[in-house]
């Protein structure tokens, strides 16, 4: 498997200094590719430093995470995710596609929103296996374990859900459920059911999350931000609505967040 450059860190907010924190990503194997967007590894070394509360405004996807002696299935986060990092450790993980999340969980992904479960009943017990492996081997071990428990090919509904996410990421004009449903050739009700089953988060919330990730990236870009213009570019009716959404999601108004970066 090939390690890929981490060119897009949207949603990973205010990390520790680069010498104490590293995020890496790998492409999945061909057999796993229909079920996984990528593998990711976070390493941190905060020995001699204060603990750090890492905040993530995550992409609405499910993950399998091997960390601290446990293997867990994390459902999609509908709010910001906070994790206190201490000492030295790492997490080895996979971001699942909608097809991968639904197939591995075996029930609607919406049932796991903002929750996690022990992944051993799902056929994944990797904590001991990857504990001391070099990163490349640990990622390969996780990849092989997922291939072993997932079907040979994704079902058509999972592929449609993935296509819907791709549309939302590429086209900011698709802000209404009806617009996205029409672009995909399905009814609004069918689209809502599809997202509940395979994505776990309603399409309107996914669109909002993607917009807020872009706003957070702009806030930390070290460049001056015209918030009214950005609000219009992201499809908000005015700046006040962007400020309200940003503050609710991240806990700080965007201008204050930008000034603290």
Torsion over CA: 248, 249, 254, 259 (sign): positive
Q: What's the whole-number average pLDDT of the chain?
A: 91
Last residue of a domain, one of 95, 130, 149: 149
Q: Which residues contact 181 (CB under 8 A, 6 or more apart)?
A: 187, 188, 190, 191
Tell me which DSSP letter residue 197 carries. I
**Count of C-beta atoms within a 10 Å radius of residue 47:** 9
Q: Which helix (H) or strand (E) holds 120?
A: none
Please give the share of the chain, as a percent, with pLDDT higher than 70. 99
**pLDDT at residue 175 in the model:** 74
What are 143's two structure tokens? 């990849």
* Of 14 and 177, more confident: 177
CA distance linking residue 189 with residue 181, whole number of Å? 9
- Domain end point (choices 149, 176, 210): 149
Q: Return d(Cα 130, Cα 91) in angstroms, integer.
A: 10
Count of structural domains within the chain: 2
For residue range 22-38, list pLDDT tens digits in order.
Answer: 999 999 999 999 999 99
Of 221 and 210, the structure prediction assigns the larger pLDDT to: 210
Coil vs helix vs strand at 177: helix
Regarding whether 124 and 106 lie in a shared domain, the answer is: yes
Residue where a domain stops, chosen among 92, 118, 149: 149
Domain ranges, residue 11: 3-149
CA distance 91 to 85: 11
Q: Are residues 50 and 141 in the same domain?
A: yes
Instruction: Give the mean model confidence (pLDDT) for residues 52-69.
Output: 91
Q: Cα 148 vs. chain centroid, distance in angstroms?
A: 23
pLDDT of residue 13: 80
Both 247 and 179 in one domain: the answer is yes
Residues 13 and 142 in one domain: yes
Regarding whether 121 and 172 lie in a shared domain, the answer is: no
Mean pLDDT, range 184-211, rounded to an integer: 94
Domain CATH number, residue 246: 1.10.10.60
pLDDT value at residue 261: 58
Give me the percent of the chain exceeding a pLDDT of 90. 62
Nearest to 3 by CA among 20, 19, 22, 21: 22
Q: Same domain, yes or no, for 160 and 143?
A: no
Q: How is 73-106 classified by DSSP, letter by letter? A: EEPPPSS-EEEEE-SEEEEEEEEEPHHHHHHHHS
Residues 200 and 249 in one domain: yes
pLDDT band at 236 (very low <50, low <70, confident <90, very high): confident
260: confidence class by pLDDT, cuts 50, 70, 90: low
Enter the pTM of the model: 0.91
Q: For 220, what's the count of Cα atoms within 13 Å in the CB-facing half-sphere? A: 14
The b-or-e profile of 210-241 (16+ CB within 10 A means b, else e) is bbbbebbbbbbeeeeeebeebbeebbbeebee
Mean pLDDT of 86-98: 96
On whether both 145 and 172 belong to a single domain, the answer is no
* 21 has a pLDDT exceeding 90: yes
Angle, to 10 degrees, between the axis of helix 98-105 and the axis of helix 135-149?
70
Question: 40 and 133 share a domain?
Answer: yes
110-135, pLDDT tens digit by residue?
Answer: 999 999 999 999 999 999 999 889 99
For 151, list phi and psi in degrees, rounded to 5: -70, 170
Residue 137: is its pLDDT beyond 80? yes
Q: What are phi and psi of 190, to 5 degrees?
A: -65, -40
In the predicted model, is pLDDT for residue 238 greater than 90?
Answer: no
| 3 state DSSP class of 230 | helix
In this predicted model, which residue has the larger pLDDT, 215 or 259?
215
Looking at the structure, tell me whether residues 120 and 105 fall in a common domain: yes
Query: 197 and 80: one domain?
Result: no
Are residues 66 and 120 both part of a single domain? yes
């Amino acid at each position: 498997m090939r390690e890929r450059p981490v060119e897009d860190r949207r949603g990973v907010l205010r990390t520790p200094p680069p010498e104490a924190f590293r995020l890496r990503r790998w492409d999945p194997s061909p057999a796993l590719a229909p079920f996984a967007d990528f593998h990711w590894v976070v390493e941190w070394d905060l020995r001699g430093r204060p603990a750090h509360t890492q905040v993530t405004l995550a992409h609405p996807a499910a993950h399998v995470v091997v960390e601290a002696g446990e293997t867990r299935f994390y459902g999609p986060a509908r709010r910001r995710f906070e994790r206190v990092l201490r000492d030295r450790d790492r997490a080895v993980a996979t971001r699942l596609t909608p097809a991968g999340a639904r197939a591995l969980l075996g029930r609607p992904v919406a049932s796991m929103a903002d929750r996690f479960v022990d992944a051993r009943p799902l056929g994944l017990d990797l904590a001991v296996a990857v504990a001391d492996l070099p990163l490349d081997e640990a990622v390969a071990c996780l990849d092989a374990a997922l291939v072993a428990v997932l079907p040979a090919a994704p079902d058509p509904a999972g592929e449609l859900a993935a296509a819907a996410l791709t549309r939302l990421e590429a086209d900011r004009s698709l802000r209404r459920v009806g617009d996205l449903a029409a672009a995909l050739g399905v009814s609004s009700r069918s689209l809502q059911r599809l997202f509940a089953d395979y994505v776990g988060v309603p399409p309107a919330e996914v669109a909002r999350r993607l917009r807020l990730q872009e706003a957070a990236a702009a806030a930390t870009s070290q460049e001056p931000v015209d918030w009214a213009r950005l609000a219009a570019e992201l499809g908000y009716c005015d700046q006040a609505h962007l400020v309200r959404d940003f503050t609710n999601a991240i806990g700080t108004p965007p201008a204050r967040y930008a000034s603290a970066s």
